[in-house]
Amino acid sequence: MLEKLNNLDSRWMYLALVIVLVIPIIKPIGMSISVNKDLTQRMYDFIDSLPPGSLIMFDLASNSSSDTEITPMIYAVMEHMYQKGHKLLVAGQWSSGLAFWSPKIDERAREYGWVYGVDYVNIGYKAGGTSTWRAMGQDFWKGAMEVDINGTPFSELPIMQNIRKLDDKTIDCIVIFESGSPGMETWITYFPTIPLCKGSVAAEISSSVRYIPTGQLKGLIPGMRGAAEYEKLVNRPGIATQLMDAQSMSHLLVVALIALGNIAYFGTKRKMARGR
């Protein structure tokens, strides 16, 4: 039995994983979600503390492969901004991220009745990396080549009239949705005075939390779990909340498999030692 378990074909585990994920999607259990006070709650509190009408900049530093984790975060933060009456500036260090999420942001903005160019704007991808961002720090219009994602001149967009520099006097908070590099290092290195929050894919959480105690990060949404927590805080359950049951069940399966694997390994070892 133990040997059988030790040599179990990994395809059975994949099958078990799919079953464990599919059942709670079709028939949710409704497990409760607690909010992480040190990460998600901090970010919520920070954005909540900004006066209505504050300008928040989204940096989409990710791509479509992180859709399931990042999209619910973007929606939850947008919901919070809508509730608080904040304004949105969309930018991105990854061109693929902007291409993927811009239509989704537009769709959600239409739902909120936001007027493009007044309540929110999307400046599109600006090539050149950190030197371009630094140029925007001196003169936003010039650094961003004076046009938005659609090629509309900044001069025709009312919201852009007040955005002349990328600094803490203009931008009240940057929220970066990140799954790799270039990412938040751009902001903590070159723009340390602008408050920074982060929506992070799960793989990046452990390398990001150390920036919380030093204040380099004001808050963090950790993976899809964090997105579900933020959805709870803004009182608008979305796709992350609905998928948390499946996520939790998959974790239970992994814990069970780790336990079984160890039992099989040590059991077999003991048996072999006895045999000798």
Q: Which of residues 182-201 bind other proteins (CB under 8 A)?
A: 185, 188-190, 192, 201
- Residue from 97, 143, 195, 223 binding other proteins (CB under 8 A): 223
115 binds other proteins (CB under 8 A): no
| ∠ CA 251-253-256, rounded to 5° | 110
19 binds other proteins (CB under 8 A): no
What type of residue sits at position 168?
A: D
Cα–Cα distance, 226 to 6 (Å, whole number): 35
Cα–Cα distance, 177 to 183 (Å, whole number): 8
Residue 249 tokens read as 């069940």
131 binds other proteins (CB under 8 A): yes
29 binds other proteins (CB under 8 A): no
Residue 42 tokens read as 């901090």
By rule CB under 8 A, what count of residues binds other proteins?
56
Cα–Cα distance, 69 to 80 (Å, whole number): 18
Cα–Cα distance, 62 to 178 (Å, whole number): 5
- Residue from 5, 8, 99, 135 binding other proteins (CB under 8 A): 99
User: Which among 178, 209, 220, 202 has a CA at the least distance from the CA of 93?
Assistant: 178
138 binds other proteins (CB under 8 A): no
Binding segment for other proteins (CB under 8 A), chosen from 42-50, 67-75, 102-110, 169-177, is 67-75
211 binds other proteins (CB under 8 A): yes
Binding segment for other proteins (CB under 8 A), chosen from 47-55, 102-110, 139-147, 259-267, is 139-147
Alpha helices in the chain (DSSP H): 2-6, 10-26, 40-49, 67-84, 95-112, 130-138, 140-143, 184-190, 205-208, 223-233, 239-275
33 binds other proteins (CB under 8 A): no
Residues that bind other proteins (CB under 8 A): 11, 14, 17-18, 21-22, 25-26, 65-69, 95-96, 99, 125-127, 130-131, 145-147, 151, 185, 188-190, 192, 201-207, 210-211, 213-216, 222-225, 238-239, 242-243, 246-247, 250-251, 254
